[in-house]
Structure 1
Amino acid sequence: MSDALLSSASSAGTLLHNPDFRRFGLARFLTGIAYQMQAVAVGWFVYDLTRSALALGLIGLASFAPAILGALVTGHVADTYDRRRIAAVAYALLTLSSLALTALALAAHAPVWPVYALMILTGTARAFANPATQALMPTLMPREQFGTAIAWNSSIWQSAAVSGPALGGLLYALGPAVVFGIAAACFGLAAVAIGRIRPRLAAAPGRGPVSWATLLAGLTYIRSQPVVLGAITLDLVAVLLGGATALLPIFAQEVLQVGPLGLGLLRSMPAAGGVAMAVVLAYRPLVQQAGPRLLIAVAVFGLATIGFGLSTSLPLSIACLFVTGAADMVSVYVRQSLVQGETPDAMRGRVAAVNTVFIGASNELGEFESGTLAALIGAAPAVVVGGAATMLVAALWSRLFPALRRRDRLIA
């Protein structure tokens, strides 16, 4: 075994023996499982109540709107108060929201409007939790372990993304109240786990006067850092153009003809590829040529998307989706390492809040873009065009952001 591999394995082992990182990872897994299970159950529950496609769309709007509307405030709060307590309170609110959903599911004739109100509460709690937890993680380990920590954290989240929907669908057969109740228990345990963390660094840099300058400091900082700006916008545009997730039901039914079981398999493949790559990166973290590898990963994502769009074979389609997940994980790994490694601790919450909005917007708008383009030219051509556009974006960003293209060390 080479010295580099021994060093990487030693770093991963040291990190996994860190009790605070284990508590953080447990909280992330529990909340990830709960989010995914609850998303499946809420969708089915609302559709059972309304039989309306528009009602389903409003769930996503109610959940994501607080992150957009409150991004400046949530980031400022994460940089002003104890991030550990912010996350614990947010998870406690998620627990209460899930308990209220449980009560609604047990009611004989539940109206639908309280579900939307609870989705707004859920979205608000997540809007505060996301920047707080993103900014908290780098305070739990030495700087040289950032890359490994991000890989493990991503692996934990992707594992929840793989298992959560299936578990939620399975438990829904016992009734929506069962899913919501288990989600409440997961959120509650996560609140306890995150509350027991003792960061190596102070989690609250200190309070100061609130002004537009302090609220906009995250955006201002990102604009002043070409490497960070390039990495965040590259991910935004690539996911916006190259995402095929929203069109998977069409491919499963009309192109591959594999039915609901095949659709579930297709949906799980990007996450499975992400988990596999995250484990590799945890033990073999990227150290050099960070910028070029980020650009290559985005280009590979686009190429695999083209392959999926052209495929009429289930095994080939599965392989292409697996590669998209693995390539996207490399992009996430490099982007998160750059964002968290380059950003001063006093700014991490505000930068993380902006980053969260970019990620969420790319997913939401990407689904809209895919559906609109598919309605105009067909599902398969839309996916192929999106993949080709993603590859062009990778080439264009290498010219627009030379600092990103030349970036060697992942953690400066």
Structure 2
Amino acid sequence: MNILRSLKYRNFKLFFYGQSVSLIGTWMQKTAVSWLVYRLTGSAVLLGIVGFVSLIPSLVLSPYAGSYIERHNRFKVLVYTQVISMLQAGALAAMIYFKYYSIPGIIALSLLQGIINAFDITCRQSLMVEMVDNKEDLPNAIALNSTMTNIARIAGPAVAGIILSTLGEDFCFISNFLSYIAVLSCLFMMKLNLAAVVKPQTDIWTELKEGFKYVSGNKDISSMVIMLGVSSLFVIPFNTLMPLFAKDLFNGDAKTFSWFESTAGLGSVISAVYLANLKNSKGLIKIITIASMLFGISVLLLAHAKLLPIALIFMTFTGIGMMAQTSAINTFIQTHAAPNMRSRAISYYVMAYQGMIPIGSLLIGLMANAMGPRVAMGIEGIVGIVSALLFIMYRNKATEGRLFNKAKHLFAGNN
């Protein structure tokens, strides 16, 4: 099948299979942590704080991580991040198994995972190009990677919902710890021919400045990074309120919460499959604009949904819009950034995506506490729609400017 063509490459196939198992465990743990924190505290603010500390390191560390990774063996960095992640998962599993329900402890371990992820995500994304021999298949590999992530987003919460109501919370955390065995085994079977890392003459802070100058000077990439940053700050964090919607607004339980997570994952898979079928990276800007508008509208409609089935339908569309927006921007950056700037460009993508979400999670938690979850989510949907419209206006203006300059040069040449 055309959609699976990147799996013919051995290294990518091993990466794909190992991550598939590990990410299911990760989403099981994510679902269990959210449910556990809200069950113990009943606080929307604490839900926002847990989301904040797990992602804020990406805002602070991602640009540094991009420069650091370019100066070191990326495969070794990836192995180290997976080992440390396994130890973190083991510590959290032990805490829950022995019923040491410490909210400060959960927050501290979530912060540690956030620090690891700042390096891990940038490293995995920058290694993708090394796993695919034919670079024309890179967009397909990125889309398959996103498909894998979002299938895990469906399976993880669905399994977690069953386990939470039958076997208990500790089993979710132990399962995530064990899932790292699969990803580490697959990593050690990979055979990547990475070029030797040449020690740069400049220091890492100079490279940070060069990376910022490159990204800010590339209008296509910078506009997408800004667009993603706004979405991550004001729209994507709507998901923080899902435990409140499931438990308080729809009088549900852990299984109801898992339905919300799973339907969003289903929508994400629909987008990922569509993107994986694209033959090239043309048309990504159009996909980004349509997806951004769909995302904002879906969040606004979800905020006002009164019936659970209707809410789950809108949740599916939020997954479609969010996945298409973030994955298309990721693909555009990886396929258009200069090779010597790819890691640094990706690090700004990670910063805008992962780094802004924690601030948004904290913000929507405070908003929901002050004015109610429906109003808070409705505001996020409106911001999403407005930001999409501004992006469309900017792109139209940029296109008109390029056409004007082209016509000007042609006119000058004819004279």
Equivalent pair of 1:89/1:191 in contact (CA under 8 Å) = no
Output the CA distance in 1 between the equivalents of 2:353 and 2:260.
22
For 1:389 and 1:120, locate their aligned partners in 2 and report how far apart those are by CA, in whole Å: 28
Contact 2:51 2:361 (C-alpha < 8 Å) held by counterparts: no
Q: Is 1:182 equivalent to 2:179 in the alignment?
A: no
Q: Deviations over 1:136-173 (max 9, x none)?
A: 00222222112211111101001111222333454455
C-alpha distance in structure 2 between counterparts of 1:114 and 1:376, whole Å: 27
Task: Check 1:304–1:123 CA distance in 2 against 1; reply closer, same or farther (3 A cut).
Answer: closer
Matches within 5 A, 1:163-182: 163-172=155-164, 173-174=166-167, 176-182=169-175
Match of 1:302 among 288, 293, 296: 296
Alignment match, 2:115: 124
TM-score by length of 2: 0.83
The aligned residue for residue 226 of structure 1 is: 219
| Match status 1:393 vs 2:384 | no
User: Given the superposition, is the C-alpha separation of residues 305 and 70 from structure 1 closer, same or farther in structure 2, using an over 3 Å criterion?
Assistant: closer
**Residues of 2 paired with 1:42 and 1:294: CA distance?**
31
Shift of 1:268: 2.1
1:183-332 correspondence runs (5 A)? 183-199=176-192, 202=195, 204=197, 206-243=199-236, 244-252=238-246, 256=250, 260-285=254-279, 287-332=281-326
The answer for the alignment partner of 1:66 in structure 2 is 57
Contact in 1 for aligned 2:74/2:127 (Cα 8 Å): yes
2:410 corresponds to which residue? none
Deviations 1:386-405 (A, max 9, x none): 32332221121223345876
Supply the RMSD in Å over aligned alpha carbons: 3.2
Structure 1: how far apart are the matches of 2:370 and 2:262? 27
1:368 paired to 2:356: no
- Describe the superposition over 1:211-265 as per-residue Cα deviations: whole angstroms up to 9, x where unpaired: 4221333322211111111112212213433343233344445655555544432
- Seen in structure 2, the aligned counterparts of structure 1 residues 46 and 398 have a Cα distance that, compared at 3 Å, is closer
- Is the Cα contact below 8 Å between 2:126 and 2:342 reproduced in 1? yes
Alignment correspondent of 2:21: 30
Q: Within 2, Cα distance between the matches of 1:143 and 1:22?
A: 16
**Residues 340 and 403 from structure 1, CA distance in 2 versus in 1: closer, same or farther, beyond 3 angstroms?**
farther
* Contact 2:58 2:355 survives alignment (8 Å): no
- Comparing 250-259 with 305-314, greater Cα deviation is found at 250-259
Contact 2:62 2:351 in 1 (8 A): yes
Alpha-carbon contact 1:102-1:176 (below 8 Å) kept: no
Structure 2 residue 348 is the aligned partner of structure 1 residue 354: yes
8 Å CA contact 1:81, 1:207 repeated in 2:
no
Residue equivalent to 1:159:
151
Q: Is the 8 A contact 2:19 2:183 kept in 1?
A: yes
Aligned length: 397
Structure 1 position 47, deviation (Å) = 7.2
* 1:121 CA drift (Å): 3.3
- Larger mean CA deviation between 186-195 and 126-135 belongs to 186-195
Question: Comparing 219-228 with 248-257, which one deviates more in the overlay?
Answer: 248-257
What residue in structure 2 maps to residue 143 of structure 1?
135
Give the unaligned 5+ runs of structure 2.
402-415
Q: 1:92 Cα shift?
A: 0.9
Paired residues of 1:79 and 1:349 also in contact (CA < 8 A): yes
Are the counterparts in 2 of residues 271 and 322 from structure 1 also a CA contact under 8 Å?
Answer: yes
Percentage of matched positions with identical amino acids: 22
Match of 1:78 among 44, 50, 69: 69
CA distance in 1, matches of 2:322, 2:52: 25
Counterpart CA distance in 1 for 2:240 and 2:141 is 30
Q: Distance in 2 between matches of 1:306 and 1:364?
A: 21
Alpha carbons of 1:185 and 1:294: their partners in 2 closer, same or farther (altered >3 Å)? same
Q: What is the 5 A alignment of 1:78-97? A: 78-97=69-88
Unaligned runs of 5+ in 1: 1-8, 408-412
Distance 1:263 1:80, change over 3 A: same
Is the contact between residue 157 and residue 262 of structure 2 (CA under 8 Å) also seen in structure 1? no
